[in-house]
Amino acid sequence: MPAFIKDRNWIAILDFGSQYTHLIARRVRECGVYSEIVPFNIPARKLLSRKPSAIILSGGPSSVISRKSPVCDKNIFSLGLPVLGICYGAQLMANVLGGRVSKAGKREYGKAILKIKSGKMLLKGLKQKEAVWMSHGDKVTKLPAGFKIAGATANSLIAAMEDKKRKFFGLQFHPEVIHTPGGKKILKNFVINISRCKTGWNMRSFVKKAIKDIRSTVGNEKVLCGLSGGVDSSVLATLLHKAIGKNLIAVFVDNGVLRKDEARLVEKRFKRHYHINLKTVNAGNIFLKGLKGVRDPEKKRKTIGKIFIDVFTKEAKKFGRIKFLAQGTLYPDIIESRSAFGGPSATIKTHHNVGGLPKNLKFKLIEPLKDLFKDEVRLLGKELGLPDDIVYRQPFPGPGLAVRILGSITPERLRILREAGWILMNEVKRAGLYNKLWQSFCVLLPLKTVGVMGDERTYESVIAIRAVESEDAMTARWAKLPYDFLGKVSNRIVNEVKGVNRVVYDISSKPPATIEWE
C-alpha cells in the first residue's frame, strides 16, 4: 500500500477469484479513495493492523454450498468495519452470519431489473427500478439475523440486503461492471457516505510520494531501467529521471521482436529530446536464437523474460556495480498472474515482468508503478509533463511481436507482421480512430490458405486484425470498425505485404477472449 495513504482511508477488497475483482478496485479509486486487493484468507488481525476503512468481499466462481469453497476469516465480521459483499461475497456473508444459501432453480446471468425496497443508505440516489448485471447459480434464500431486504429481482427475492446497524451490505448483482448503470453510485455510497473515506487518491499526491520513496530507497545507488518506448516504461523512466537524474541508466533492448522503426523512435525521443541517460543494446539475434522452435505462448513469455534479465545483467557489469533494477509492472499484471502467488484466480497469462524473473535475480527490484492501473499510469504521465503521443500510445506487450505471431518465430514471419502492423496503424491514425481504440494490431496466424492473385493460385499466410475498446484492459469490447475502413486495410495488406493473401477480423470480447491472442 502506498505510504501516503493514511490509516482508515482505504478500502480492502478480499479476492475470492472473480475476474471482476480488479474492476471493484478500479471503481473505488474512481471515487478518489485508494483500494487494494488482498487474499481472501487474510487473518482478521493482520487486516485490522493495516487499518482499512471498510471491507469489500468480491465475487468468485465457487459455490458457497460446496465444502471446498473459499471462506474468509469469520472474525472479519467482528472488526466493527463496514462490509459489502458482492455476488459470492454476499452469499458468503449470509452463510457465515446464519442465513441460508440455496441452489437457484434458474441460473441468473445478464441483465435484470432491480426493484429497490430501501434506498436510504447503499442504494441512495437510485431510481425505484434499476438495470443490474447478474451472474450467479446460487442465491440467498434466508436472511441472517439483523438483515432486511433492500432490493429484489424477478429471480432473486433477496438481490440486495442490509444490516444498517452493523453497516453490512450484500448485493447479488455486480455494481462494478458497466452493465450496472447505477453501480458507480452504489460504490460511492459505500466508500464515501457509509465508510466515511476522504478523497485524496490522485496522481499529484502519488508523484510527490513516489519520488520521495525512490530517493529514500535508492540513495546514491544507480538504477537500471528497461525502456521500451511504451506508455508504462516511458512513464517509469521519466519518473525515475525526475527522482534520481543521472543515477538512472535507461537501457533500450532491441529484442528483435519490436514494431517497425521502434528503435529509431525510442532513441530520438528519450536520448535526444528528454536527455535521459540511454543505452541501446542490439540483442535481436540472442532473443531470436532463444525463441527458435518455441511455439507455446507461456514458454515464449518466460524465455523472453529470462533473456531480458540475462542481457540486463551483462549490461550492468559495463556500468560498474548496479544495485537496483526498475520494472514497469502494473497492478493488472500482478492480478492476472495471481495464481503464481497462491491466489484463487486462474492464471490468464504470466506477465513477463512477473513470471519470467529467475530465482537468482542479482538486482534488487523496484516497481514504482505496481499499485497503478493503466489509465492511472496515463494520468501520471500527464502529471509528469509527457506529451499525448506518449501518454496515450496504445499498449504493446512486453514480449512484443513474439506473442502476436502464433506458432514459431522466424525473420520472415516477423517481416510479414511488421509490415502488416505498420499499414494498420497508419490507416487507424489517418481515419482518426487511434485515440478511440484501446488497442489495434495485427496477428499472424499459424496457417496458410488458398488464394488467387494475378490469375495464379497462391498459398500464403493469414493476418488477423484485432481492435478493441476498453477502460483498463481487464475487460474489452471488440470495436465495430467501419466496413469501408476494414476493406481498405485488408486491400493494402494483401497487395503490399508479400506472403499474405487473406485478412480476417476478430470480433471476440474480453472475456471470454483475451485482448492479445497469446
Active site residues: 87, 174, 176
Q: What is the three-class DSSP state of 473?
A: coil
**β-sheet bridge partners, residue 251:** 226, 279
For residue 314, give the amino acid letter: K
What angle (nearest 5°) sits at the alpha carbon of residue 415, between those of residues 412 and 419? 150
Distance in angstroms (rounded) separating the CA atoms of residues 355 and 84:
32
Give φ, ψ of 240 to 5 degrees.
-65, -40
Instruction: Annotate 55-104 with three-state secondary structure.
Output: EEECCCCCCCCCCCCCCCCHHHHHCCCCEEEECHHHHHHHHHCCCEEEEE
Alpha-carbon span 104 to 102, nearest angstrom = 6
Helix 284-291 and helix 297-318, axial crossing angle in degrees, nearest 10: 150
**Helices 374-383/231-244 angle, 10° precision:** 40
Contact 146, 163 (CB under 8 A): yes
CA–CA gap between residue 237 and residue 271 (Å, rounded): 12
Query: For residues 486 and 465, what is the distance between their CA atoms, to the nearest angstrom?
Result: 9
C-alpha angle 195/196/200, rounded to 5°?
A: 115
State the DSSP string of 94-155: HHHTT-EEEEEEEEEEEEEEEEES--SSTTTT--SEEEEEEEEEEEEEEPPTT-EEEEE-SS
483 sits in which H/E element: helix 483-496
SS3 238: helix
Nearest to 372 by CA among 326, 332, 327: 332
- For residues 485 and 427, is the Cβ–Cβ distance under 8 A? yes
Residue 130 has φ and ψ, to the nearest 5°, of -130, 140
Distance CA 189, CA 84 (A): 11
